[in-house]
């Protein structure tokens, strides 16, 4: 993610545990639907090493291609700064690396669609995709860089 210094878009990191489902869908949604204001990457505290096929399929259904995205460790972005760090699962919120503290941090939790029984996964991925569109994109549409910084440290 090399952005020119005069780039007007804000940088978003979406963090999850495995970086295979929720955070991957969030990255794709932000980059497709909010590209005028934001550029997003996603990472995992314990990356699975792949993007879940149902995540790819769920976004493909709405015209967004995330097949080229890859599962990445959070450490890959250690030397980058972000305007917003969004955790989408409780484990990532609890284990968010300390060095990710430079941007606004917010937790927006979503259920893990990959935890559903195999015959229900496609529907669960759609449900989470739609929730991400409504809640996470809704949050970013309202987000302002001068908003009060939230401290989620316990």
Which pairing describes strands 84-87 and 38-44: parallel, antiparallel, or unpaired?
unpaired
Give the 3-state secondary structure of residue 38: strand
- Do the Cβ atoms of 112 and 89 come closer than 8 Å? yes
Instruction: Give the catalytic positions in this structure.
Output: 16, 89, 96
- Smallest CA-to-CA distance from 27 within 88, 101, 100, 94 is with 88
HSE-CB at 71 with a 13 A cutoff on CA atoms is 19
Measure CA of the first residue to CA of the last residue in the chain; give whole Å: 30
Structure tokens at 65: 């291609």
d(CA 41, CA 62): 20
């Amino acid at each position: 993610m090399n952005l020119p210094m005069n780039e007007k878009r804000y940088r978003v990191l979406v963090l999850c545990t495995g970086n295979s489902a929720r955070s991957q869908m969030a990255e794709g949604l932000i980059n497709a639907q909010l590209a005028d204001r934001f550029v997003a990457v996603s990472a995992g505290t314990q990356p699975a090493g792949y993007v879940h096929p149902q995540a790819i399929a769920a976004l493909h259904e709405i015209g967004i291609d995330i097949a080229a995205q890859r599962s990445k460790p959070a450490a890959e972005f250690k030397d980058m700064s972000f305007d917003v760090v969004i955790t989408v699962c409780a484990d990532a919120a609890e284990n968010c690396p300390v060095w990710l503290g430079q941007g606004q941090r917010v937790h927006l939790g979503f259920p893990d669609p990959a935890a559903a029984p195999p015959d229900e996964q496609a529907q669960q991925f759609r449900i989470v995709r739609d929730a991400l569109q409504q809640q996470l994109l809704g949050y970013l549409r309202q987000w302002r860089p001068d908003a009060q910084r939230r401290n989620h440290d316990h």
